[in-house]
Structure 1
């Protein structure tokens, strides 16, 4: 058979109107997708700002409540201390009441200062910070409650995220400078580092179970945020006094 006889020639009608319509439809879809993406981005920003305002308003309400409670407690202390009609039998009770009220006032003043610093920061205090690391003993001498407070002091109300690595440094038997990551001594932690994501502050709490042959000396904390303005902060705390070194 001849090669030319085995080939078929197909004639396609050229339709410029249909081709133009197809191009218009394709262009419309592209513009619709672009517009949808733009408005979704705008909505996301609006939503983030709205939730930030709500969260900040909650902090302000909490601050106002604490300021009122602080004022009431101070007034109660003045009334109790200025009362002369107290017999000897109740003097000890009154003295203990004053001590309890003063302790509560001190705690409220610390909390109030913390919220005010987060909400209305000084320029020098802005950025990612380790606010404090507290350790409290329990009934078990080898078990301690801990609380790590991380803050972000900024004016843009945006989320910050990253990882925090907490390690205990001490001695184990005759070996010095032994480092134990938090995941090895805390049942609540199952990774080498703990993830954080917050807008104003975040509490990391749990328990530390010390090995029988381990004597802690220091606590090492490393913060590593991610994003365009990534930061790395390294701090050491003394195990006894819990003061930053």
Structure 2
């Protein structure tokens, strides 16, 4: 054999020609691939069902837990609502009791004042007889400078007779820097004259509303009552400007 210089020589081997062998190998490879795919699918399907079952079980467990937590939260909310309602009821009851006690105390004070008033009328002391200026109340109406007033003029005597006379009602204060005196008729629609007519046997009540002018600052109320007749009596009394809340 003549060798060609410069080229690499490879050994040659004779292989028998078997066409079915290659087909068989290919079929086996394909079968193994299919088996592997089917096995993987079945395994994945099995694991998927297993994971799904676990997820469903966990979901059901969470649902139960959420339901229990919701019931507990609702129960706690109801307990809080009951406690709040109980506290409100207790507070309202306490306020009602306190208000009732205050009202009863005020009524007792009013009754004691009325009893003292009538005792004074029917059984006056020796140095406290004749025409007398009793109580004066000025009450706020809550409407600007409008007030209610109530004045009692009375006759203290053991033998009451009809008493006539007049009452002069003045409000003393300041308008800015200047002193000013207002008659009741200047600020009240209930009075038409400076001298208010008096005529009573036991007592007379003067009441109504008054409106102070803007800028006027009241300081006191000055009252002068005078009975008519031969035993005429003049009584004067001053009250500081004190307003009661309605």
TM range (shorter): 0.5 to 0.7
Listed as ranges, the matches of 1:85-96 within 5 Å are 88=90, 90-96=93-99
* 2:160 match: 157
How far apart are residue 138 of structure 1 and its match?
A: 0.4
Pairwise CA RMSD of aligned residues? 1.8
Alignment of 1:197 with 2:199, yes or no, is yes
Which whole-Å CA distance do the structure 2 matches of 1:121 and 1:223 have between them?
19
Q: Unaligned 5+ residue runs, structure 1?
A: 1-86
> What TM-score comes out, normalization by structure 1 length?
0.60
| CA distance in 1: counterparts of 2:222 and 2:146, whole angstroms | 18
1:144 aligned onto 2:179: no
Compared CA separation, residues 122 and 195, structure 1 to 2 (3 A): same
**TM-score, normalisation: structure 2:** 0.59
Per the alignment, residue 119 of structure 2 pairs with: 116
Deviation at 1:225, TM superposition (A): 1.0
Q: Which residue of 2 aligns with 1:34?
A: none
Q: How many angstroms apart in 2 are the aligned matches of 1:133 and 1:92? A: 31
Deviations 1:51-78 (A, max 9, x none): xxxxxxxxxxxxxxxxxxxxxxxxxxxx
Q: Find 1:229's aligned residue among 224, 228, 231.
A: 231
Q: Indicate the residue corresponding to 2:130 in structure 1.
A: 127
Q: Paired residues, what number?
A: 155
Q: Gaps (5+ residues) in structure 2?
A: 1-88
Q: Distance in 2 between matches of 1:231 and 1:88?
A: 58
Give, in angstroms, the shift of residue 88 of structure 1: 4.4
Q: Which consecutive aligned stretches of 4+ in structure 1 deviate over 2 angstroms post-superposition?
A: 87-96
Native 8 Å contact 2:220 2:238 kept in 1: yes
How many Å separate the matches in 2 of 1:137 and 1:92? 24
Structure 1 residues 98 and 199 mapped into 2: Cα distance closer, same or farther (>3 Å)? same
Tell me how far 1:199 sits from its aligned partner.
0.6
